[in-house]
Structure 1
Amino acid sequence: MSLKSVVTGAKLCVVPLRQAAAARLSTSARHGVNYAPVPKPLQGKMKLFQIDNGLPVHIRGGPVDKMLYAVTAVVCTVGLIECFHVYYVLSYPQKKD
């Protein structure tokens, strides 16, 4: 078996693998996938959230988002306090008389 035949055999294996990898990476461009049009209300929301106005994403929706953020923070805080309460009760059980 000569070196030339080994190199030729390796090229026969490598080229199809490269072509297959390239096909997997760019399947949407090759097949021309057509997506559904984006509805107008959703386009407006997309524009709102992509504007660089210095606000974090979770409060860009206005007062409703601020209220939801506050409620979520309160619920998480109460849950964390309850977790520590359960750990305390399980660590120091009451003695039975």
Structure 2
Amino acid sequence: MNRQIFALQRMVRRSISSSSRRQVENNVPKNQKLFQEDNGIPVHLKGGPADALLYRTTMALTVLGTGYVVYELVSAAFPKKKD
């Protein structure tokens, strides 16, 4: 039993510590240049249309959620009268 566990540990360690099969291009300098550029665009929108869509979706959900919370608080504060 112990022999099988040790063999499994060796196999897992070997697969994790082995070098990657394909080399990945380093995009950090390119992204740093893009985000540090002074072009008047807020940093949370410099990623392009996907960032703009994510920002607008987040703002819409925030406004709708706030409105719903206010509605629920008002309806809880003024309960309907029973006849």
Same fold (TM over 0.5): yes
TM-score (structure 1 length as normaliser): 0.56
Identity rate, percent:
37
Normalization by structure 2: what TM-score? 0.65
Q: Distance in 2 between matches of 1:84 and 1:58?
A: 28
Bigger radius of gyration: 1
Structure 1 residue 94, shift from structure 2 partner:
1.3
- In structure 2, list runs of 5 or more residues that go unmatched: 1-24
Equivalent residue for 1:61? 47
Higher relative contact order (CA 8 A, sep 6+): 2
Task: Name the Cα RMSD after superposition.
Answer: 1.3
**Structure 1 residue ranges, 4+ long, deviating more than 6 angstroms after superposition:** none
Size of the alignment, in residue pairs? Answer: 59
Structure with the larger helix share: 1
How far 1:79 moved relative to its partner? 0.7
Equivalent position of 1:47 in the other structure: 33
